[in-house]
Amino acid sequence: MHSMFAHVAIPRSAPAPLVYRIPEAFEDAVQVGIRVRVPLRRRQATGVVIEVSETSGIESTSIREILEVLDERPLLPDHILALARFISSYYRCPLGTALATMLPAGLLRADTEQAEPTPKGAGTDLEVLPEKQRAILAALLEHRKLPVAGVLARAGAGSRTPLDALIHAGLVSIRRSRRDRPPRSEVGAVALVPEPIDELLERCGRAPRQREVLNWLADHDGPALESEVCATLGCTLSVIRALETKALVHRFRQAAAKKPRWSLGGKDVRHELNSEQQAAVDAVQEALADGRYQPILLEGVTGSGKTEVYLRCLEGALAEGRQGIVLVPEIGLTPATVGAVERRFGSSVAVLHSAQAEGERWREWRTIRSGEARIVVGPRSALFAPLEKPGLIVVDEEQDAAYKQQETPRYNARDLALVLGRDLGIPVLLCSATPSTEAAFLEKRGLARRLQLTRRVGGGVLPKVQLVDLRHEPPEPGEQGRTLFSAPLKEAITETLEADRQVILLMQRRGWAPVLLCRDCGSTLECPDCSIALVVHRRRHSLECHYCGHKIGVPIKCPSCNGTLLDAVGAGTEKVAHHLGRLFPGVPSAILDRDTVRRRSGLEDTLGAFSDGRIRILVGTQMVAKGHHFPSVTLTGVISADALLGLPDFRAGERTFQLLTQVAGRSGRGAEPGRVIIQTYHPEHPAVLHAANHDVTAFTEEELRFRRAFGYPPVTRMALIGFESPSIDQVRRAAEAAGRSLRPTPEGVRVRGPAPSPMERLRDRWRWQILLTAAERPPLRQALARVESLSLPSDVHRLIDVDPLSTL
């Protein structure tokens, strides 16, 4: 008999696609890129067809059939499917997982399973059952109904086997619900029936809540969203439903309104291009016209007009009938960039980002898939937008760490943009004021073109940078010999305020102080679940772990020795703002950090108040270094350049250099020249020194020499194998077993470890790691494959991070 087979990738399940027979009725409907419903062991799952073939390649009697076809058209174009395959093999994750990352949430969501006891189960004598089964059934009898994962956890069952035995014996039944539906992008709305309000009220009778809704709708004069009515009046949907039953209102569904986007208002201004900008636009256009892959590193100081360059290039791509992708690190922190693209391209722009509600994201995604949107702006996952034929990919701030995803698949969107560009034969524009060493290395090997924008648009000059050697500054009283505000910094702030200008101060840590130290016994208060000190937050009167969120009140006595001499050592944003209030009384200042963002509209409010001058001094973490444009900031102060330098990570120098250069660029964006003051205990460190001189080239040269000398990326290829477990013994044993599997070491691979990770404990998990470096990919892959083939105890988690951004 003639049969067709489909290879189906299923998330969180098999590492390789599974083969299913296509029933004859579905033969026309099944095609590559659509979702199907398939049986999986004793359950069902939703996956994506990635290949259709006439042979199964396996023993045909064991092949099961596809149950249902869910899409009419492929969800993803071919080049995105190819990219999924690349992610799966390069970053070492199941293909289904890669696809789930690319599609809007929900389309591949796993079913939920609820377990409940059957009448037979309820009447069973628990004592006759084996221990695990007894625990499961007891938990179900107590709670009546529980999610499968929950009941297994409650009963301490490591596997599903005892539950399956109960199901088989007819003592427990499972109810499954599917959740693989696209999210709703419609919302409920309500309107009064067209009759005078007095009549409606009369027919309504004495129902106070319902009358309230009628009156509100009458005042509102037009239809309203049901959610809006409920939120404003504090009522539930049942009130509106009751009104519908009485035929006093009618309810309908409408497409969710487009939310206001990120543009900060203002008109689109087409700047004249200077010769450097024109050269960059020409280079991109040439590659586009030739249909050839061309990475272009567009290096420009802040304010040099990179945005205008890529807006023009996008226009070029559209003129060729192609589409464009603009990647930004974090959309909430780059509203200016997104605003510029939206102002230029209006309704043909789709914005994707993680803060969107699922329905909203789904709607944007469909406008892209249908071809209505031709420019996509968003963070790293926007690279997977299902555009038909992209002609240009722009990666703004390509050096930013946010392009790396810190969960499986651990991809870097900057690197994938190059892969996609190569597959499609199109230019890829990597923009940065401080190119990553990876990008600089590409150029050094002749694989990328480098174009520089050296002039500030509008003739502005780069700010003057002054280094303040904190070793020569008198210590601040009560600051353990440290200085927060050196004399030159205080003086500069005074002068800037007197000139009616604004100040940005960079302080990398949030909270009041990073450490609470006991002066009696010398111990610091650490998070019980992570090997890191708890941070003192004064406003919330708490000690908090910035890694896992553990939070306690500030103790009065030392938990180790009962001593009372507890000292908050070091400084964070709160303390800096506090001292500002003391040094410059009456001058309004504000903090911009994760705590600000966490508050509802905290980010917009703070930026707004700083933008219109209600706030004169803005203290913040690296968030203040991102692309905001504040023309009347003429002074940027770095409270301490040293916080990142001390990290035991090979990128510490690069991170410091980038941060200092970026924050320096915040100063003097208007007509007046700006100044920058960097306080440091290491004024001779290359990262600090070259940042002060705005010398990107000198820094990259020196950094690449360092990476070469010690065999670090990008000169070598690196992969990190991490092990995590609640058990300190298990994690060590697993890491050591992996270490043994790497002996003898594959040729060309250097193995560092196994050893405890620098952050040895995180979120109540012990961590070990092995670092692999090699000059070439193949031996590295071979080494990884050996470790992957090892089986692990169930409470040890293994992660593989190819091209890790951090080795902490």
Which residues of this chain interact with Zn ion, rule CB under 5 A?
Answer: 518, 520-521, 527, 529-530, 545, 547-548, 550, 558, 560-561, 563
Q: Which residues contact 589 (CB under 8 A, 6 or more apart)?
A: 577, 580, 581, 615, 616, 617, 618, 619
Tokens 């890491």 correspond to 735
Closest approach, Cβ 555 to Zn ion, in A, equals 10
Q: Which residues contact 422 (CB under 8 A, 6 or more apart)?
A: 293
Closest approach, Cβ 265 to Zn ion, in A, equals 41
Toward Zn ion, which CB reaches closer, 138 or 548? 548
CA distance 48 to 94: 12
Closest approach, Cβ 550 to Zn ion, in A, equals 4
Toward Zn ion, which CB reaches closer, 95 or 530? 530
Closest approach, Cβ 534 to Zn ion, in A, equals 8
Six token digits for residue 134 = 């007894």
Closest approach, Cβ 622 to Zn ion, in A, equals 21
Closest approach, Cβ 566 to Zn ion, in A, equals 8
CA distance 114 to 178: 12
Is the distance from CB of 649 to CB of 492 less than 8 angstroms?
A: no
Q: Which of 443, 496, 453 is nearest to 302 (CA)?
A: 453
Toward Zn ion, which CB reaches closer, 150 or 563? 563
Helix boundaries (H) for 329-409 = 335-345, 358-369
Kindly report whether the peptide bond that precedes residue 758 is cis, defined as omega within 30 degrees of 0.
Answer: no
Toward Zn ion, which CB reaches closer, 300 or 572? 572
Toward Zn ion, which CB reaches closer, 231 or 521? 521
CA distance 337 to 223: 35
Closest approach, Cβ 524 to Zn ion, in A, equals 9
Q: Which of 87, 102, 95 is nearest to 49 (CA)?
A: 95
Q: Which residues contact 716 (CB under 8 A, 6 or more apart)?
A: 707, 750, 773, 774, 775
CA distance 65 to 23: 6
Toward Zn ion, which CB reaches closer, 158 or 555? 555
Toward Zn ion, which CB reaches closer, 10 or 527? 527
Q: Which of 695, 692, 665 is nearest to 679 (CA)?
A: 692
Helices 306-319 & 335-345 angle (0-180, nearest 10): 40
Closest approach, Cβ 761 to Zn ion, in A, equals 8
Closest approach, Cβ 549 to Zn ion, in A, equals 7
Toward Zn ion, which CB reaches closer, 367 or 531? 531
Is the distance from CB of 781 to CB of 769 less than 8 angstroms?
A: no
Toward Zn ion, which CB reaches closer, 520 or 695? 520
Toward Zn ion, which CB reaches closer, 527 or 771? 527
CA dihedral 594, 598, 603, 605 (to 10 degrees): -130
Is the distance from CB of 228 to CB of 198 less than 8 angstroms?
A: no
Toward Zn ion, which CB reaches closer, 529 or 701? 529
Instruction: Round the CA-based radius of gyration of the chain to a whole number and report it.
Output: 30
| DSSP single-letter state for residue 94 | -
CA distance 369 to 391: 16
Closest approach, Cβ 796 to Zn ion, in A, equals 20
* Residue 655: CA count within 13 A, CB half-sphere: 18
Closest approach, Cβ 512 to Zn ion, in A, equals 18
Closest approach, Cβ 531 to Zn ion, in A, equals 9
Toward Zn ion, which CB reaches closer, 390 or 511? 511
Helix boundaries (H) for 148-220 = 148-154, 161-168, 197-204, 208-220
Closest approach, Cβ 257 to Zn ion, in A, equals 41
Toward Zn ion, which CB reaches closer, 557 or 708? 557
CA distance 501 to 613: 9
3-state DSSP helix/strand/coil % of the chain, to nearest 5: 35, 25, 40
* Residue 482: CA count within 13 A, CB half-sphere: 15
Toward Zn ion, which CB reaches closer, 388 or 529? 529
Closest approach, Cβ 547 to Zn ion, in A, equals 5
